[in-house]
Amino acid sequence: MPRGPKFRKVEGGVTATDGFSAAGVSCGIKTSEGALDLGLLLSDRPCVAAGVFTTIACPAAPVLWSRGLVEQGSGRAVVVNSGNANACTGEDGERDAAAMAIAAGQELGIEPDQVAVASTGVIGRPLPMDKVVVGVADAAEELSPAATAGDRFAEAILTTDTAPKTIAIRTVLDGKVVTVGGACKGAGMICPDMATMLAFLTTDAAISPRPLRRALRAAADASFNCITVDGDMSTNDTVLVLANGSAGNARITDGGEAYRHFVEALTFVCTHLAKMIVRDGEGATKFVEINVRNAASRDEARTAARAIANSPLVKCALHGEDPNWGRIICKAAGCGIRFKPGLAKLRIGGKLAFEGGTPADTPIAELEQAMQPAEIVIDLDLGLGKGAATVWTCDLSREYVAINADYHT
Amino acid sequence: MPRGPKFRKVEGGVTATDGFSAAGVSCGIKTSEGALDLGLLLSDRPCVAAGVFTTIACPAAPVLWSRGLVEQGSGRAVVVNSGNANACTGEDGERDAAAMAIAAGQELGIEPDQVAVASTGVIGRPLPMDKVVVGVADAAEELSPAATAGDRFAEAILTTDTAPKTIAIRTVLDGKVVTVGGACKGAGMICPDMATMLAFLTTDAAISPRPLRRALRAAADASFNCITVDGDMSTNDTVLVLANGSAGNARITDGGEAYRHFVEALTFVCTHLAKMIVRDGEGATKFVEINVRNAASRDEARTAARAIANSPLVKCALHGEDPNWGRIICKAAGCGIRFKPGLAKLRIGGKLAFEGGTPADTPIAELEQAMQPAEIVIDLDLGLGKGAATVWTCDLSREYVAINADYHT
CA distance A58 to chain B (A): 6
Write the residue in B341, B396, B406 that is nearest to A320 by C-beta: B406
Q: b vs e for A307-345, b when ≥16 Cβ sit within 10 Å of the residue's Cβ?
A: bbbbbbbbbbbbbbbbbbbbbbbbbbbbbebebebeebb
Confidence of residue B407 (pLDDT cuts 50, 70, 90): low
Q: How many CB atoms lie within 10 A of CB B289?
A: 18
Q: What is the dihedral of CA B74, B78, B84, B88, to 10 degrees?
A: -10
Residue A331 sits in the same domain as residue A240: no
Chain B residue closest to A56 (CA)? B334
Domains of chain A: total:
2
* Residue B187 located in a structural domain: yes
Q: Which of A220-234, A320-334, B8-22, B385-399 has the highest mean pLDDT?
A: B8-22
What's the mean pLDDT in B124-135? Answer: 96
Instruction: Please give the pLDDT value at position A4.
Output: 65
Average confidence (pLDDT) over B296-321: 91
Shared-domain flag, residues B354 and B375:
yes
Question: Is B370 within the bounds of a domain?
Answer: yes
Answer with the one of B241, B275, B309 that is the final residue of a domain.
B275
Res B404 pLDDT > 90: no
A2 assigned to some structural domain: no
Tell whether the model's pLDDT for residue B90 goes beyond 80: yes
Catalytic residue among A159, A166, A196, A238: A196
Pairing of strands A38-53, B8-10: unpaired
| Dmax (CA) of chain B | 69
Claim to verify: residue A321 and residue A227 sit in the same structural domain: no
- Whether B237 and B385 share a structural domain: no
Confidence of residue B134 (pLDDT cuts 50, 70, 90): very high
- Across the 409 residues of chain A, what is the mean pLDDT of every consecutive 10-residue run? 77 96 97 94 98 89 96 97 92 97 98 97 91 98 97 94 94 96 78 64 98 96 81 80 97 94 97 92 88 96 92 87 88 90 96 93 95 96 96 85 65
Nearest by CB to residue A358, choosing from B88, B312, B397, is B88
Tell me the per-residue pLDDT of B91-102, one tens digit each, with 9 for 90 and over: 999 999 999 999
Flag if B316 and A401 touch (Cβ within 8 Å).
Answer: yes
A 10 A CB-CB count for A388 gives 17
Final residue of a structural domain among B252, B275, B298: B275
The number of C-beta contacts closer than 8 angstroms across A and B is: 209
| Shortest Cα distance, chain A CAs vs residue B316, angstroms | 5
In three-state secondary structure terms, A354 is strand
Q: What is the pLDDT of residue B197?
A: 87
Residues A200 and A75 grouped into a single domain: yes
Instruction: Measure the CA–CA gap between B179 and B172, rounded to whole angstroms.
Output: 9
Buried b / exposed e along A72-87 (16+ C-beta atoms within 10 A): eeebbbbbbbbbbbbb
Residues of A in contact with B316 (CB under 8 A): 400-401, 403-405
Which of B123, B233, B319 is opposite residue A401, by nearest beta carbon?
A: B319
Express the helix, strand and coil content of chain A in percent, nearest 5 each. 35, 30, 35
The answer on A96 and A229 residing in a single domain is yes
CB A241 within 8 A of CB A65: no
Task: For residue B335, give how far its alpha carbon lies from the nearest alpha carbon of chain A (Å).
Answer: 8
Query: Is position A162 annotated as part of the catalytic site?
Result: no
What CA–CA distance (Å, rounded) separates A36 from A119? Answer: 13
Asked if the structure places residue A3 within a domain, the reply is no
DSSP B238: E
Q: Verify that B343 and B194 share a domain, yes or no.
A: no
Query: Is the Cβ pair A358, B323 closer than 8 Å?
Result: no
Query: Which residue type occupies B275?
Result: K
Specify whether the CB–CB gap between A154 and A164 falls below 8 A: yes
Chain A residues within an 8 Å CB radius of B334 = 54-57, 195, 232-234
Distance CA A264, CA A253 (A): 16
Quick check: B409 pLDDT over 60? no
Highest mean pLDDT among B132-141, B216-225, B281-290, B396-405: B132-141
| Same domain, yes or no: B40 and B187 | yes
Helices (H) and strands (E) in chain B, counts: 11, 16
Return the ∠ at Cα B349 (arms to B347 and B355), rounded to 5°: 15
Its ipTM equals: 0.76
The contacts of residue B30 (CB under 8 Å, 6+ apart) are B37, B82, B83, B121
Three-state DSSP class for A53? strand
Task: Read off the DSSP letter of residue A251.
Answer: P
Q: Sign of dihedral through CA atoms B346, B348, B350, B354?
A: negative
Beta strand pairing status for B375-381 and B287-295? Answer: parallel
Same domain, A219 and A259: yes
Kindly report whether the global pTM for this prediction surpasses the value 0.90.
no
Alpha carbon distance B22, B42 (integer Å): 6
Under an 8 A CB cutoff, do A409 and B323 touch?
Answer: yes
First to last CA, chain B: 55
**Chain B interface mutation, best of A194, A313, A322, highest count of B Cβ atoms under 10 Å:** A313
DSSP helix/strand/coil, A8: strand
Sheet containing strand A358-359, edge to edge, reads: A227-228, A387-394, A287-295, A375-381, A345-348, A351-355, A358-359
pLDDT of residue A62: 97
B396/A341 CB distance under 8 A = no
Q: B281 lies in a domain?
A: no
Q: Name which of B231, B334, B409 is nearest A233 (Cβ-Cβ).
A: B334
* Yes or no, beta carbons of A320 and B405 under 8 Å apart: yes
Classified as helix, coil or strand, A14 is helix
Residues B31 and B153 in one domain: yes
Q: Is A184 exposed, middle or buried (0-12, 13-18, 19+ CB in 10 A)?
A: buried
Distances in Å between the alpha carbon of B302 and those of A112, B315, B389? Answer: 43, 17, 5
Q: Is the dihedral of CA B63, B117, B247, B146 positive or negative?
A: negative
Residue B195 pLDDT greater than 50, yes or no: no
Sign of the alpha-carbon dihedral angle for A355, A356, A361, A365 = positive
Same domain membership, residue A223 and residue A349: no
Residue A60: closest CA among B341, B383, B292: B341
As annotated, the active-site residues of B are 196
CA distance B184 to B236: 13
- pLDDT above 70 for B232: no
Residue B312, domain extent? 287-406
Of residues B323, B340, B357, nearest to A88 (C-beta): B357
Are A251 and A245 in contact by the 8 Å Cβ rule? The answer is yes
Residue at A42 is within a domain: yes
Rounded to whole angstroms, the maximal C-alpha distance in chain A is: 69
User: Are residues A241 and A335 part of one domain?
Assistant: no
Are the Cβ atoms of A333 and B56 closer than 8 angstroms?
Answer: yes
Question: What is the model's pLDDT at position B193?
Answer: 36
pLDDT of residue B234: 74
Cross-chain Cβ contact A58/B341 below 8 Å: yes
- The alpha carbon torsion through A317, A323, A325, A331 (nearest 10 deg) reads 10
CA–CA distance, A27 with A132 (Å, rounded to integer) = 7
Q: Name the DSSP letter for residue A74.
A: E
Q: What pLDDT shows up at residue B191?
A: 42
Interface test with B, best of A196, A232, A321 (most B CBs within 10 A): A232
Which CATH number characterizes residue B55's domain? Answer: 3.60.70.12
CA–CA separation, B77 and B214 (whole Å): 21
Q: Mind telling me how many Å the CA of B297 is from chain A's nearest CA?
A: 17
- The answer to whether the beta carbons of residues B193 and B52 sit under 8 Å apart is no
From the list A124, A323, A400, the residue facing B326 with the nearest CB is A124
Query: What pLDDT does residue A5 have?
Result: 81
Please give, rounded to a whole number of angstroms, the shortest distance from the CA of A232 to a CA of chain B.
Answer: 7
- A189 contacts B320? CB cut-off 8 A: no
Q: Determine the Cα–Cα distance for residues B193 and B312; give it in Å rounded to an integer.
A: 20
Query: For residue A304, what is the domain's CATH number?
Result: 3.10.20.340
Min Cα–Cα distance to chain B from A15, Å: 33
Which helix (H) or strand (E) is A170 found in, with range?
strand A165-173
Which of B275, B306, B339 is the C-terminal boundary of a domain?
Answer: B275
Domain contains A148: yes
For an interface test with A, the pick among B55, B63, B88 (most A C-beta atoms closer than 10 Å) comes out as: B88
Cβ–Cβ gap B401/A319 under 8 Å: yes
β-bridge partners, B48: B74, B243
Mean pLDDT value of segment B61-73: 96
- Quote the CA–CA distance of A315 and B405 in Å, as a whole number: 8
Q: Is residue A191 a part of any domain in this protein? A: yes
Mean pLDDT value across chain B: 91
